[in-house]
Structure 1
Amino acid sequence: MRITLDKSLIAGRRLEVDANNGTQFIPLTADLAAKCGYSVDANPYGNSKIFASLLSCFSADREDKVFDMTLRLRMYNGHTSAVDMQEVSKTCRNQWVSREILCETNYMEVSVDRLPPEMDRSTQSLLNRHGSNVAPEKLDYALTPITSLKHIWKMVFQYGPSKEKPMFLNEARDAGYGVATSPSRLIIRSPYDAREVYTENVAGVPMKVFKVTTYFKEKWSVTMLDTAAVCPAGGLKFIEDRIIWTVPRHINPLLTSTTSETLEVHMGIDGKILTNAEMAAKGYVMSVSESHIVIELPIGGSDGFYKSRAVDNQYHITYIIKPMVEIVWREEDSDHLTRYKAFFPINTPLMRRPLVVINYTVPEEQMFDVLLGAFLEDVELVNITLQAGSLSVAQANVRGYNIQEQRLANGSKTFTLHVPFSDSAVFQSSPNPVTIVYTLPLVFGLLVKPEQSMFTHPVLLEAVLQLAALPTVTGSCDEGYYHVTVEYGGQGKYFKTMLGKRELTSVLAEEYGLTENSTHMSFAVPFLAPDAVVSLVQSTAVRGRLDLVFWDPFNNRRISDFSLGCTFPMAMIECFSNGTMTALAVKAESVTSLIPSQLTLKDPSCPPIFSNDRFAYFSFDVNRCGTTRKFFDGFMIYENEICLAHGNARKYSKTTDLDYCLTVSCYYIINETQQIVLNTNSQTITHGVEIGIGELPVRIRLATDISYSTFYSNEDYPVHKHLRHPLYFEVELVDSTDPHIELVLKNCWATLGGERLSTPSWDLVVDGCENFEDNLHTTLHPVTRDTRVQFPSHIKRFDFKMFAFVNDTLGVTDQIFVHCDTVLCDSIKHDYGECSSQCVGLPTIKSVKRGSRGTGQAPQSKSYISSGPVKLSNLLLAGL
């Protein structure tokens, strides 16, 4: 019976078994295991196997056919505190033969039939004769054969050809023997080192032998049973990478006749019998001759494992495997069978494994980097010994040594150790002015589990550092990066590099794309990286600087430095036609205490939509967050401030005795862009002020009817209309969300050609008013809010009837184009400039014939728009 655990029962853990249904736990010592029929195998990889005889002390026997075992295992660390409790169960069936012999790792066991066949017949006859009138004492006698445990009188052990030693039952048990009976069998176990066990050579193979005759006495009769067990004690050879195990085919001490018939021969591993196919797949070979059974096993096979050994303070390994042989035979002139099962744990001879020490130390890194290995899983590094004393692994790591265990793919492991050159255990010497030698003598203390055997390995570490000339640095910039190249010079890289306040570590080097060889290293740093500083924020650019410092770690001194200053283009403010502004406030080195996330617009409830420790990014509508509006001749400026705020009150943080505040502005014109520069408050720290430029598009569209709900698209032009048919035009400020802007229609006119200044032309709207000199005059329509119109002040509508130009050369023409000048005004305050004209319902200027129109140019500050051509359908001269 085999039970596998997922825990290794290694040294320092104590195993207990439940001996009485949870009421009594007994430590499973080596003596108890041998006496009761248990063996425990544990490998270094966290697995354990418990092998138990079917007839062990704590198994439940059901008529010698079914065996139930439940082990409640308590495992301890040390000797006091329980760390784990586990219950394992197993049920097995077995068909016994007359004699069963078991050779386990730590005990020999023999069991034989103890009930003569006639007993059952006599008991049945007694019950038939007396029935229920049988006296209890007579029934007990009939059901309890003389070979029961309580009838054992004495046991006589034979050791050697003529030596005997009688013992009573309690004496035999005290001597380490296990004696028990099952419903039909007598079981006797012996440890291999019992005094009465002797060695006998059988067919050239040493075997351990114990023989005992048990006497049962009941009043006038004595019954004796002979038992014996013989187990392998040798027969091993190791040839190159193979194990040869030889077992006698005929085990003479167990035979009472000169001949026997072998019925079955099997081999297995760990108690499991293998088929021929399984044996072939694993490289196992079993051959049976007239006198021997020979089993060949490869060293290193998967059914075994390697184990570490410490011998003479040297590291060795051995290969361990537990094969099994099973033989069933019948002696001459007998119907009784013997089943012989031998488990034979094999340890190969010790194999020396010299340890390898690899010194990966790079002197310029000022750190010893050493690897020791390789070891099996059952080896632990417990301490290192320096000249000043020993340190445990935990103590060494606290001191900064960084001892790590590295697992390898093949299941072995190594130990790595890092010791800084600055540690007090490291010795320094300078054989010449440009050379420094670092020396570290130490001893590794290692432990093999579970034996807890120690061994050591001394190491002398040495590193030579050649001092080099000063590094040479060159740098340049592009639109977004500082590019730096460092030439090591002399003996290579021996220095540390500081970028700003941080060391150029491997992580930072990867971030900045560092490449290097034996003489140079190059990397690129983004201009807004945390290791660069911003020195000045200008209108459309940022002035920054990258500082490098080179440090000699041995002398703990600064050896050189380098600064690279560059200007990078960067849009600080963007203005969008939909009335949205974005602004970026960048933290400069002059305001080191500034926290960008605390910046707000004039309205403190408008914080940045994103910020970090370098900048704050704002996005807002021009009619929110305290933005102010200024109107000039033909353009508008929206203006806000980015400052520090506290609660609902403006509060400025003092930096170098001045306030930090940044003015941002957007300049809008209709369909054009222009830049204008404003000055900021002279009492603020301004890191550049920019006026953003933007465009407010205006469009003109021809509606299909007076509802102004549908319009002709670009693909519909030219549009065909009958003479005198009304044309409904709409002029609209597109995308703006500022409700205080009013679109003012200054002048609209029609031309024969597509150019706005072409002739002939005819006025339709003059100074924002209808042209009353025209008998077919233009009509201006009011605009109200609806589902499509959100801001009525952004739209103007008018209509006039379709007409045709009369040209001296061409006669009556068949198409017209419509053009308009527009300006933007403040809807609340519009009594200035071109926003102040009023219509009183009377003609304001003299009309011009439709054959011609004045050609004066509109001011450049105004925007103009034009419609596509409208063609005259079914031209009738009589209608002109």
Structure 2
Amino acid sequence: MRLTLDKALAVGNQLEVEAINGTQHVVLTPGLAAQCGYSMESDPWGNTRIYASLMGCFVENEEDKTFVGLRLTMYSQGNSEVITHDVAKTCTYSAWASREIICDRNYMEVSNYIATSDGSVDMKGQDLYSEESKNDASMCEGFSSQPTSHSQATGIWKMTFYTPEPTVMVLREALEAGYGAKMTPNRLVVRSPYNTAETYSEDVAGVPMELLKVSTYYKAQHGLTMVNLAAACPIGGVIFSEDLISWHVPRRITPLIEGRVTILETHMGIDGEGLDKKQMIARHYTLSTTEYHFVVEIPVGSPDGYFKSHAPDYQYHLSYTVEPMLEILWRADNHADTRYKILFPITTPLMPWLPELSDNTIPEERVFNAQLGLFLHDVELVNITFSTGILSVAECNARGLTVQEHSSHNGSKTFTLTIPFAEDAVLKYNSEPLVTVYYLSVILGFFILPEQTPFSHPLELEASLQDVVLPSIAGTCDETFFYISVKYGSQGHNFQTMIGARLLTSDLGEVYSLTENGTHFSFFLPYTSPDTVFELVETFSVKARVDLLLWNVDNNWKLGDFSLACNFPLNTTKCFTNGTVSVLALKVESVPNLTPSWLTLTDKACKPYFSDDRFAYFSFTVDSCGTTRTFLDNYMVYENVITMDQHSKAYASPADPSYRHTVSCYYLINETESLAFHYKPRDKMPTAEAGSGQLMVQMRLAQDAEYKRFYQVTDYPIVKYLREPLFFEVELMQSTDNQLELILDNCWATLNEDRTSLPSWDLIVDGCENLDDNYMTVFHPVVTEARVPAHIKRFSMKTFTFTNDAEVLKNQIFVHCDAVICEAKSTLDGICSGQCVNAKGIRARPFKGLRKGEKLCSALRGVYTSAIGADVTACFM
């Protein structure tokens, strides 16, 4: 019989059994339970199953058909107040086989049918799973309050155990040794715990078995009778794979089967309850037969079993426990039946289980959000170890570090942690200049209930966030100084500053008047500082540059760099009226290995009056140091050359560029032959290569001759009558350099937008109006205050159209112009000599086969821009 108690009833782990007559209370210790035919199994949820043999102690037997027993009182051990639950069961069972063998968790039992009072022997066995037996078994599920009594084992004289040597005991001695023996109205029962002195082990078909062989002598009405009894129970035969349990039971157990037998029935069950085929298929259970074994296969994780947590070496492991039952009914040649029932709890070896981490962190929310699981229901999170200390779960939640437990319908657990990036235990560092990495390492401390077994699990979380603001640098110049300001980024002043090739130390900061507050620092330095470089030296100015580098020395990151170049006024050459010349030579960036002290004038004996690592200062008279004199127009010119001393240069790198600087002084000769000073530079110091870019030219059509109002793009096409004047303006845009002048080289008209199309007619040729035109182009002077006059050219023409004899080819024209940008004071010949300087030398473009007509020109459209040398085009329609 089986009694199942849920968690509410199973308050303890010991049972007190009340005798049927109500006069005796017996505590079922583990030894007494095995001797009397009781066993108990509890799962981690606290649910308990109690099994009692129908032939056990304290069970009232009525003709081996009705059994009243299992009146129990449960109490909690160690509790001063006993909590009792009185339960009882009444079962009917009549499907006895001649021999019944039970292998339970803690004992093995064998019972044989014996002669009745009239001397007959009932050898008929019945099917446990017949309709009759099912009805009998169902009666065991009810509770009854009927009293129970102790059934005395009378009539047994002595017992001989074989191990295999015989050991003889009278009944009292056998009971004292822990064995159970009794006679019922129809059966003789012997019960033995496992691993007693009179049992022994033996391998049967590769499966270890625990065996009991005993001859029992008892007194019957017809005299002394002896019955040989044997039981054999498997204590092994289980094979585990990752997801399957295979349980092997020998088909032929030598002490139990002698001679030929016929297997009548085989059944599988769970927790002592049989399963039909549909139930087995639904659970993926199989029961098969091989040549030597009955094989039961159960998937690991089947719902009929349960998992349990363990923590060997403080590491989380799982085991799976399930209790299959195998029942076999066979018949021997003498027509005696044997029912063999095995209740066999199976627990898998410990399986390491690594809970999965789900990192649900969204870095922009600046909070770690992680979930760890799965754990079994018997795991409890106790504390969390941070780098700053250990906190209990309650303490974590009180500090805003949210720790929650989540349970699923199957009893498994997960734990979630929500920890802000701002928590002290969260470390942060920069993986690259703009990215901050937030790192959290904790150890979660757990207990396994009810054993309170501790184990731990480390947890590491990392999130990257582009939340770093780099420092910024700004700077300005005046005529003497660079002014530099550095604003700190989000990481504060965690960097070093390089000015040129030197580190900005506190000593250097005093030299440059460094000031600092919580947000930025600033300083200023003269352009002659040794931490600047000279890019370009001209007659009256020098272009100097300062370079800054912000550097993180911990990880060798460049956090920012900055270069500021400015022109500073500096007259490097001075020519005095007394014939003295002073020259300042500077070391420029393009000649990095130049040593100023190696410079000399034409006369190598004339060395610098003063020099250091950046400057060389010369002072000489015009009649010394190899100075030459020439006459040019009304000037007397004195020249000298500063070069590298060849002897000194031998020590420099052969790849160093040569250094040559010509110094010139011009003296004006007037009509009275008296001399006056005038300086005109001829050569420049070594310079860096000039930059390149684009100049933009625009062509517009004015609405009036004063060029005050212009047509817009949306105004086109524009209708004009024949011979009506058109006023054009061409301008060099986005330039304020008054040293540049725009010259119109050629302008012509075509019938379509293709500048090379025919027919065409010249309007301006080589900078002048077309002399072959009856209505010549007219240039207009430019007077403006807002713009540079030299950048603008204006001309007008009279509206015309193309004709072929009497036919107008098309009532539209397009105008194209080539523009040239020249130096305003250029003395060169050609187009840059000025707009139409010598009109007499101009030749018109050849006639293209068509002449201008005098009919209506319908429209004008277009504003076009161009780089230097490209077309500037206005078009008529």
User: TM-score, normalized by length of structure 2?
Assistant: 0.45
User: TM-score, normalized by length of structure 1?
Assistant: 0.45
